[in-house]
């Protein structure tokens, strides 16, 4: 029986005197005392409260009760995390540091200690492992857990969430908000309803009742643009979305309409992926000064292409979809994507030329403060060796050597020369032809 299907029956083996172990299939086991249990699917989402800022307040008592903002310190930086004291001033993640200083002049601004936060995150993840073998980390401060069957160890499924929160508090001194529901969407939504230090359960049969009065921005995937479109069309609450038809929603939100309709009814078929493979590989830079000249922008696109290509090679991956992110000085952000029919792209040359083409399409001509380049629809790098010319083999060998030098001495230790206007594999010609 395949694990995680919505309409399949999951089996759980419960052994007396031990912690429950959820099973995805009927496994061979020697049971002296035990039973098979057919249980409901329960997903828990745990989100640490203002994680970076809370760690800093925990470690420094002088910061407790004060507005703490963690992020880039320069005027061009952005907020990574703001304590709840800082949020009262309107400071939030992704806000520019310049605006954060204006909103909260008495705030304490700190650089992030990512390596330190990672260690604490691993500590929290070990706590999660006490409650489920199926853990899907989303970032350093949040994760999904499939806790189906664990209710057999507790008087009520709510006790599982309380136990996780209590153990995190005991072992780390930090608070977390948790949500439990029949699926990932409902669990994540529940964890956000009573922050900080909150806990909410959305039980079976109560999905639509709880969802109906909530604003449409609570639906997974609804950003500002989609929200404005839906409000303009008369949809203000999730209940309004649920009362509509998929066709009506599709007329407003395009292909996303059917997805929103399913979510509004509390339906989400996604499973907890305990061994997640990277869905994308990318890099982005926020610049100390605005980029205005095309030559300047091309130079930064080249740097981004080299970084992403290096990361793809390191993981042995290639991808079919390339996305360019552009943020202008007024913080307006646009993305441009292109998907290839071929197996995919992976080289610096391919990425650079695609980024150039994407940048040239529908740009506003304004100064740029951030550029990002991402490759998605990933799969294993597969190039037929017999298609390599002698020159190609030499190029690949040189690239490997450059990667090793840069890993040891830094990316500036050695740089490649100018790229040719046309790639050897016909990539640029294919791009032009398909447009």
Report, as residue numbers or ranges, the catalytic residues: 142
Q: How far does Cα 148 stand from its chain's mean position?
A: 24
Q: In the numeric block, which tokens belong to residue 407?
A: 């890993």
Sign of the alpha-carbon torsion through 390, 392, 395, 400: negative
Residue pair 284/372 in contact (Cβ under 8 Å)? The answer is yes
Instruction: Give me the long-range contacts of 206-213 (CB less than 8 A, separation at least 24).
Output: 207/181, 207/182, 207/265, 207/266, 208/239, 208/242, 208/264, 208/265, 208/266, 211/238, 211/239, 211/242, 211/264, 211/266, 212/237, 212/238, 212/239, 212/242, 213/237, 213/238, 213/239
Q: In the numeric block, which tokens belong to residue 207?
A: 């999905």
Strands 108-110 and 199-201: unpaired
Q: Residue 371: which of 288, 320, 304 has the closest Cα?
A: 304
Sign of the alpha-carbon torsion through 211, 214, 215, 217: negative
E strands, 184-247, where? 199-201
What interhelical angle do 390-409 and 294-315 show, nearest 10? 90
Between the CA atoms of 24, 43, 181 and 188, what dihedral angle is there, to the nearest 10 degrees? -150
Burial, 220: exposed, middle or buried (Cβ in 10 Å; 0-12, 13-18, 19+)? Answer: middle
């Amino acid at each position: 029986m395949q694990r995680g299907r919505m309409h399949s029956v999951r089996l759980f083996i419960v052994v007396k005197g031990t912690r429950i172990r959820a099973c995805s299939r009927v496994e061979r086991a020697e049971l002296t005392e035990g039973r098979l249990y057919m249980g409901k699917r329960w997903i828990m989402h745990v989100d640490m409260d203002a994680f970076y800022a809370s760690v800093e307040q925990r470690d420094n008592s002088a910061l407790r009760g004060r507005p703490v903002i963690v992020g880039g310190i320069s005027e061009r930086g952005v907020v990574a995390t703001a304590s709840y004291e800082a949020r009262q001033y309107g400071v939030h993640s992704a806000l520019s540091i310049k605006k954060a200083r204006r909103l909260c002049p008495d705030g304490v601004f700190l650089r992030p200690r990512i390596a330190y936060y990672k260690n604490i995150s691993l500590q929290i993840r070990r706590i999660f492992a006490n409650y489920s073998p199926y853990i899907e980390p989303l970032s350093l401060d949040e994760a999904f857990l499939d806790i189906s069957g664990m209710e057999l160890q507790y008087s009520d499924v709510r006790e599982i969430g309380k136990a996780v929160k209590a153990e995190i508090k005991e072992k780390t001194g930090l608070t977390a908000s948790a949500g439990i529901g029949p699926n990932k969407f409902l669990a994540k939504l529940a964890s956000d309803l009573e922050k900080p230090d909150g806990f909410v359960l959305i039980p079976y049969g109560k999905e639509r009742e709880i969802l109906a009065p909530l604003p449409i921005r609570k639906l997974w995937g609804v950003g500002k643009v989609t929200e404005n479109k839906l409000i303009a069309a008369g949809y203000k609450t999730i209940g309004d979305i649920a009362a509509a038809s998929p066709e009506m929603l599709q007329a407003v939100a395009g292909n996303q309409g059917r997805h929103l309709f399913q979510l509004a009814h509390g339906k989400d078929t996604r499973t907890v992926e305990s061994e997640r493979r990277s869905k994308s590989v990318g890099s982005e830079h926020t610049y100390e000064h605005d980029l205005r000249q095309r030559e300047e922008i091309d130079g930064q696109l080249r740097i981004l292409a080299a970084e992403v290509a290096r990361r793809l090679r390191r993981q042995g991956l290639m991808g079919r979809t390339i996305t360019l992110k552009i943020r202008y000085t007024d913080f307006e952000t646009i993305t441009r994507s292109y998907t290839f029919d071929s197996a995919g792209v992976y080289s610096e040359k391919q990425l650079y030329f695609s980024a150039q083409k994407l940048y040239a399409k529908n740009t506003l001509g304004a100064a740029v403060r951030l550029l990002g380049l991402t490759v998605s629809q990933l799969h294993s790098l597969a190039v037929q060796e017999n298609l390599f010319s002698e020159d190609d083999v030499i190029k690949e060998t040189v690239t490997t050597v450059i990667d090793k030098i840069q890993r040891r001495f830094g990316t500036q230790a050695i740089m490649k020369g100018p790229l040719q206007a046309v790639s050897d594999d016909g990539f640029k010609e294919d791009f032009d032809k398909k447009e």
